[in-house]
Amino acid sequence: MGIIFDETNKVFLLNTKNTTYGIAVTDGMYLNHLYYGRKLEDTNIRYLLRENEPPFIPSVNQREKNSFLDMAPMEYPETGMGDYRESAFCVRSEGGHRASELAYQSYQIVGGKPELEGLPATWGGEEDCTTLKLFCRDETLGMEVQLLYTVFEEEDAITRSVIVKNAGNSSIYLEKVLSTCLDMDDRNFEVIGLFGSWGRERHIQRMPVGYGRQNIASFKGESGHQEHPFMALVTPETNQDIGEVYAMNFVYSGNFIAQVEKNQFDSVRMLMGIHPEGFTWKLEPEEVFTAPEVVMIYSDEGLGKMTRSFHDLYRNHLIRSSYLHKKRPILINNWEATYFKFDEKKLLDIAEEASKLGIEMLVMDDGWFGHRENDDSSLGDWFVNEEKLKGGLNKLVEDVKKTGMSFGIWVEPEMISPDSELYKKHPDWALQIPGREITQSRAQYVLDLSRDEVVDAVYEMIANVLKSADIRYVKWDMNRQLTTIGSFQWPADRQGELYHRYVLGVYKMQERLTKDFPYILLENCSSGGARFDPGMLFYSPQIWCSDDTDAIERLAIQEGTALIYPVSTMGAHVSVCPNHIIGRVTPFETRGNIALLGTFGYELDITKLTEEEKEAVKVQVQNYHKYNDLIREGDYYRLASYAENGCYDSWMIVDKNKKRALVFYVQVLARANAKSKYMRLKGLDPKQYYQIDGKRYLGSTLMNAGISVSAEMGDFRSKLIPVEAI
């Protein structure tokens, strides 16, 4: 069993294959963090609490409880009783007081993992994982709190979440319910996060941890382009292969905060959960609030081991789609080909030409509904514009199928246009504050998905479209952040629940979609990659990685994304040059090689390609079918980073049995008078012989000495290097 309790020492050990997480009960009531790191074989670790040092535990030094609370490593720190570091939990009583003291009551160890009601979360049976429930209570408020820990032994992962119940007689107001806290001594930690903006999402940034508080956060109503719900603390020597890593990733798609704090005692506190900005949740007697979960990974083999642990966990225990272990259809999306200017004839022209080259699906993007000829109208009017699509949607789909291709469609269900028929009929369905102008973005408002009637009505419109034709793919977009947060449904003391209730409404809609249409491949999107998070992956096996399809910009975007998420989740397409966003020109071959790392498809007008480019498409399609099983299921290793060296980029995928690998190499900038580079491969069997370009090498030689990669003339050149066991 992955979890044990030492009754004598009052110590819980949560063990994965290679790691241990330790918790102690102190003074019969406090839950203190003991240890997180390499696997331990012994529960005799209470000495790590320094209980024999001042200020001692409260039962020994009754006059210094305040000092104890402010320096002890707390498993779930609270507001108001004496811990002045950032808290994980804050509750306000009906009398207006902000304080709580959760006393440990009991525990339960169960096989498997309970669901989190209404929330995406990792899952597993008794053979996969074990869950520890720690039951705590605040007697003054009559409040009960469960701290949940699930141990995935094979993946070296631990998940945490919190359930709060008002078991008292009066209402209480939750003002902060973070999902996890990790207190430990500083070791000159550095913090790694993912940052960016629209068109350049998830760039890796690393910086020292100093005194005070450093956070990564979003309160835009989405996880966001700018900052990502991920944080890792690393020891200074950490790279891809060595060093210690403490990583957290939030399984949630709304406002979040990830924070590290270093205090005067040189200890650090790492926190993650729903951002408290704008958050209040009223709990009436007997009501329950469930916090989303955080995934924690510890690695003592650098960032590479962390990455592969996240990838394995998410492939095995988060993504549910039947497409997860299948080749996704190679699709062509008409957005950059036509934008809003298309009709059924243009779409069929694209489908007929694409089918000849081996492309398998046509996706009709924005502009097919209402009277939408640009992006300032018709959102909410989810009925087909038959003036644009003569004969209707079903006829178009059937005509596309005759070319040998399947059909997909774009929707944006969370938004509403001011000129739409839906808004004219239900102006109160938009998020708004009475007396204030609704802030527009992209000439659209946000639907109030905290209301079940809105969720039901919009879902039914979308479902009716999907039922009307043989649609096999849906791209679900969300193109703006939330503003003017107010709802006509909820009373004043529940308006602080709207951000979270909105996200729950999105989850309700996507849960219904995946159950009602299990054969549909769902791809999430949020103005590119603004909502690329584990919460979305619970519903869709892939997410549009970025609206920027430039191959060179994609190097940093895909490197940052693949740091956490399986490469099979990254929506990646080949587009035309000059690139529509930044104007760069890159070789067609390089665009294909870089898109091959993700789901692979095309974002262009294929009828305008040259014959040479069409032949290149055929080669890229062949490469996809040749390598996709390996790329989708294999282990990812980062060999070099263009973001770090400014010159070249390289990574490789190795299948689980180490019999086959594929190396990707991109020469971003050519150099004069340059020698070849020796690239040391990773993840191979050191005793196995491999073949590269007809030559035989021992695995240990390839990993220790490397392979030679010659310099080429010109910028933005790339190559694929197959490695086969012999």
Ramachandran region, residue 10 (left: φ > 0; alpha: ψ -120 to 50; beta: rest): left
DSSP 67-94: HHHHHS-BSS-BSSSS--SPPSEEEEET
Element (H, E) at 107: strand 103-111
Nearest to 639 by CA among 254, 87, 239: 239
Nearest to 263 by CA among 2, 69, 495: 69
Kindly indicate the confidence band of residue 564, based on its pLDDT and cuts at 50, 70 and 90. very high
Q: Do 540 and 531 meet the contact criterion of CB atoms below 8 Å apart?
A: no
Q: Which fold has domain 639-725?
A: Immunoglobulin-like (2.60.40)
Q: Do 226 and 472 meet the contact criterion of CB atoms below 8 Å apart?
A: no
Element (H, E) at 493: none
Q: Do 541 and 319 meet the contact criterion of CB atoms below 8 Å apart?
A: yes
Nearest to 347 by CA among 357, 360, 335: 335
What pTM does this model have?
0.96
Q: Do 390 and 344 meet the contact criterion of CB atoms below 8 Å apart?
A: yes
Q: Rounded to whole angstroms, how far apart are CA atoms 186 and 383?
A: 58
DSSP 297-364: EEESBHHHHHHHHHHHHHHHHT---TTTTSPPPPEEESHHHHTT---HHHHHHHHHHHHHTT--EEEE
* pLDDT tens profile 83-127: 999 999 999 999 999 999 999 999 999 999 999 999 999 999 999
Exactly one of 156, 300, 547, 649 is catalytic; which is it?
547
Mean pLDDT of 601-629: 97
Ramachandran region, residue 198 (left: φ > 0; alpha: ψ -120 to 50; beta: rest): beta
- Has 547 been annotated as catalytic? yes
The burial of 403, by beta-carbon neighbours within 10 Å (0-12 exposed, 13-18 middle, 19 or more buried), is given as middle
Nearest to 642 by CA among 721, 563, 554: 554
Give the three-class secondary structure for 514. Answer: helix
| Residue-level pLDDT at 523 | 98
Tokens of 466: 């999907």
End-to-end CA distance of the chain, in Å? 39
Largest alpha-carbon pair distance within the chain? 84
C-alpha gyration radius of the chain? 27
DSSP 203-255: EEEEEE--SEEEEEEE-SSSS-SSB-SEEEEE-TT--SSSB-EEEEEE--SS-
Say if residue 323's pLDDT is above 70: yes
Q: Do 93 and 277 meet the contact criterion of CB atoms below 8 Å apart?
A: no
Specify the DSSP class assigned to residue 292.
P
Tokens of 27: 């003074």
Say if residue 380's pLDDT is above 90: yes
Exactly one of 70, 300, 381, 477 is catalytic; which is it?
477
Would you list the domain boundaries of the chain? 3-317, 331-413+461-479+521-633, 639-725
**Which residues are registered as beta bridge partners of 157?**
152, 297
Long-range contacts of 644-652 (CB under 8 A, 24+ apart): 647/671, 648/677, 649/555, 649/559, 650/679, 650/709, 651/559, 651/562, 651/597, 652/681, 652/682, 652/683, 652/723
Say if residue 388's pLDDT is above 80: yes
3-state secondary structure 150-190: EEECCCCEEEEEEEEEECCCCCEEEEEEEEEEEEEECCCCE
Mean pLDDT of 173-186: 98
What are the phi and psi torsion angles at 49 (to 5°)? -80, -10
- Report percent pLDDT > 90 for the chain: 97
Q: Rounded to whole angstroms, how far apart are CA atoms 213 and 50?
A: 25
* pLDDT tens profile 633-656: 999 999 999 999 999 999 999 999
| Residue-level pLDDT at 61 | 84
Tokens of 77: 């720190």
**What is the overall mean pLDDT for the chain?**
96
| Residue-level pLDDT at 59 | 84
Tokens of 701: 């030689």
Nearest to 561 by CA among 528, 512, 517, 538: 528
| Residue-level pLDDT at 1 | 65
- Has 156 been annotated as catalytic? no
Question: What's the CATH code, domain 331-413+461-479+521-633?
Answer: 3.20.20.70
Superfamily of domain 3-317: alpha-galactosidase from lactobacil brevis (2.70.98.60)
Which pairing describes strands 212-218 and 415-416: parallel, antiparallel, or unpaired?
unpaired
| Residue-level pLDDT at 594 | 97
Q: Establish how many alpha carbons lie within 13 A of residue 216's alpha carbon, considering only the half-sphere containing its beta carbon.
A: 31
Q: Rounded to whole angstroms, how far apart are CA atoms 543 and 294?
A: 20
* pLDDT tens profile 407-424: 999 999 999 999 999 999
Q: C-alpha 585: how far from its chain's center?
A: 30
